[in-house]
Homo-oligomer: A and B are copies of this chain.
Amino acid sequence: MRHLIDWQSLSRVIWNAAVERALDYYEHAGEWTDTARGRSIGLMFFNSSLRTRTSMELAAAQLGAYSTVLTPGQETWRFAFEEGAVMDGQEAEHIREAIGVLSRYYDALGVRLFASLKSFNKDRDERLIRTIASASSVPIINLESAFYHPCQALADAAVIRRQLGDPRGKKFVLAWTYHPKALPMAVPNSAVLMAARSGMNVTVARPDDYALDYGIMQMARSYGAQVEETDNREQAFDGADIVYAKAWSGPLVYSDPEHEAARRESLRDWCITTEWMQKTREARFMHCLPVRRNVVVEDDVLDGPGAIHLEQAEFRLHAQKAILEYVWGL
């Protein structure tokens, strides 16, 4: 059975084929087929969504499949996840029953379930989405879990290929930004791995205390790419082809969340401005959205010619059609 929890457990051949397929779908945007007629997918959103939900619904519909959106805890009761739980509290159903049943109804399940930001091990090990996958008799598609966002990664790789052609050797800067809230690491983790697997030279520009997980960085290096980390923005932006902006909360959030919040508040100038963009090689500006204008990035950048964040979001649709094909073996 083909789950899509992350890309790194899948071969480079599958990854490349999926990128190509997403680009094909971009070329044929607006075409509806019956490829997946008679199939259905349940989309479970434990966290909010705008793009993922709509693009996944449309990806299914454009292939002829049926989809349902579920928001656990809002229109259903809450679910217990722990093995052996004595369920006399708020959770009315165990995820094993919920997924056991849904996977008898649907031909695939998409799941969004963000990082706890409480237990690093639980988040890094993807414990919740792996519990879901083990209870399911149909493919699980990760719609952003604790540590990974594979739908975003595929869309990103495809839009970069469309914008830059062959991305190998191009400079990809993952630029940490300030944000008023502590955010998870799924998108930056996935972006670094995506860029490295695409053969780009990767620089992570982030303040001290905001390093990404060492295991992620090592995995990125294992693809043969040049992967660096620095708190020197001058050096990072110099010659960049892609600036991929993202806020995340870093390892401190697990050990000392108050300290992390205070530290973050001192870093409000980590905002992407035209001035910073001018240090690049006319870089494209990317962001997975939602983005806070004039906090994460200035209006002038978002409204300028280098910004490709809307096309990037558009590619979610094309990428997810490729992903549905993959998990269903179409």
> Which A residues are within 8 Å of any B CB, using their own CB?
30-32, 37-38, 40, 42, 45, 48-51, 53-55, 57-58, 61, 66, 68, 70-71, 74-77, 80, 84-88, 91-94, 97-98, 100-102, 104-106, 180, 289-295, 299, 302, 309-311, 313-314, 317
- What's the nearest-Cβ distance from chain B to residue A322, in Å? 16
Question: Given contacts A50-B101, A100-B310, A313-B101, is CB(A93)–CB(B290) below 8 Å?
Answer: yes
The answer, among B38, B45, B54, B76, for a CB contact under 8 Å with A50, is B76
Partner of A290, one of B85, B92, B310: B92
Q: A48-B75, A94-B293 are in contact. List 18 more A-B contacts (CB 8 A).
A: A40-B58, A48-B76, A50-B70, A50-B93, A50-B101, A51-B101, A86-B293, A87-B293, A91-B292, A93-B290, A93-B291, A97-B289, A97-B291, A97-B310, A101-B289, A101-B310, A104-B311, A104-B313
In the complex formed, the residue of B with least CB distance to A89 is B180
Is the pair A40, B61 in contact by a Cβ cutoff of 8 Å? yes
Task: Please indicate the chain B residues that have their CB under 8 angstroms from the CB of A49 in the complex.
Answer: 75-76
Instruction: A221 to B32: give the CA distance in the assembly, Å.
Output: 47
Contacts of A74 in B (CB 8 A): 75
Asked if A290 and B77 sit within 8 Å, CB to CB, the answer is yes
* Residues of chain B contacted by A66 (CB below 8 angstroms): 58, 61
What is the bound-complex CA distance between A292 and B98, given in angstroms? Answer: 12
Asked whether, in the complex, the Cβ of A293 is within 8 Å of the Cβ of B80, the reply is yes
In angstroms, Cα B82 to Cα A294, docked, is 12
**Which of chain B's residues have a CB closer than 8 A to the CB of A299?**
84
Which B residues lie within 8 Å of A302 (CB)?
A: 97
With both chains docked as a complex, state the minimum distance between the C-beta of A206 and any C-beta of chain B, in angstroms. 20
Chain B residues contacting A48 (CB-CB under 8 Å) are: 75-77
Which residues of the other chain, B, contact A314 by a CB distance below 8 angstroms? 101, 104-105
7 contacts between A and B (CB under 8 A): A50-B98, A53-B68, A55-B105, A84-B299, A86-B295, A92-B290, A104-B310
A54–B292 contact, CB under 8 A?
A: no
Contact of A45 among B51, B75, B97, B104 (CB under 8 A): B75
B68 touches A57 (CB 8 A): yes
Q: Which residues of B contact A50 (CB under 8 A)?
A: 70, 76-77, 93, 98, 101-102
Task: Report the separation of the CA atoms of residues A75 and B55 in the bound assembly, to the nearest whole angstrom.
Answer: 15
Closest 9 CB pairs of A and B: A93-B290, A87-B292, A104-B314, A32-B38, A101-B313, A86-B294, A61-B66, A50-B76, A100-B310
Query: Could you tell me the distance in whole angstroms from the C-beta of A29 to the nearest C-beta in chain B?
Result: 9
When distances are taken between beta carbons in the complex, the residues of chain B under 8 Å from A71 are 75
Residue of B nearest to A80 (CB): B293
CB distance from A116 to the nearest CB of B (A): 19
Q: How far is the CA of A289 from the CA of B74 in the complex (A)?
A: 18
| A309 near B45: Cβ-Cβ < 8 Å | no
Q: Which residues of B contact A106 (CB under 8 A)?
A: 54, 58
Q: Give Cα distance in the complex from A180 to B77, angstroms.
A: 15
Q: How far is the CA of A316 from the CA of B88 in the complex (A)?
A: 26
